[in-house]
Amino acid sequence: MNIVLLGGPGAGKGTQSDFLIKEFGMMHISTGDLLRDAVERQTEAGIKVESYMKSGNLVPDEIIIEIMKEKFSQIDLSKGLILDGFPRTVVQAQKLDTMLSEINSKIDKAILIDTPNEVIINRICSRRTCKNCGFIGSVANLDDEEVKNYRCPKCGDKMIQREDDNKSVILNRIDVYEKQTAPVVDYYKNKNKLFSVDGSLPAPSNVFENIKTLIK
């Protein structure tokens, strides 16, 4: 099954992707991760997208579609695909349908992780990401000393705060989501492919239980 995970910044798309990979061994593509890697390596695309990402704006469709085309030429869809952070505009959603139909495939379901803005803001401000393996954690219940010494529970590397995980950038990312990405929700709704789960549940594993009922 090929699924698109939808939801605002901090809705838990990355965390739920980790659960899906672990449970079903699905192929995962996160455009945010691909872009951060390109920025880190200062590739041609990375240099072009850096300022958009820092400010919380969307990277232009042409750039992201090129990156996805390349990725699609390398992937094996036999175990199913999770798309995390793509599509983020209706143009991208249309292009995705075209790209998949060219390889005789399609999106089966779009799952919206529906999360109120207050939850998103609190969650993102305390989110930390492993520099090495991308593990996503939270410092919400840690004291200052524990925050300073916070290491990745998976690989032991340093947990860092993403440059775009600060309050002013978050407010812009929420605004960008509402203006440019919310129409993608309607795109899948009109195709009867949209399903929704409550993303505000405190335990991510409970959100995953609900996602599992949708994809079995």
The footprint of ligand AMP (CB under 6 A) covers: 9, 31-32, 35, 52-53, 56-59, 64, 85-86, 88, 92, 164, 173
Q: Is 128 a catalytic residue?
A: no
Interior CA angle at 104 toward 98 and 109, to 5°?
A: 70
Q: Which of 109, 162, 189, 193 is catalytic?
A: 162
Residue number, nearest CB to ligand AMP: 32
Q: Is 127 a catalytic residue?
A: yes
Least spacing, CB of residue 14 vs ligand AMP, in Å: 7
Least spacing, CB of residue 187 vs ligand AMP, in Å: 14
- Comparing CB distances to ligand AMP, the nearer of 55 and 209 is 55
- Comparing CB distances to ligand AMP, the nearer of 152 and 164 is 164
187: left (phi over 0), alpha (psi -120 to 50) or beta: alpha
- Comparing CB distances to ligand AMP, the nearer of 42 and 209 is 42
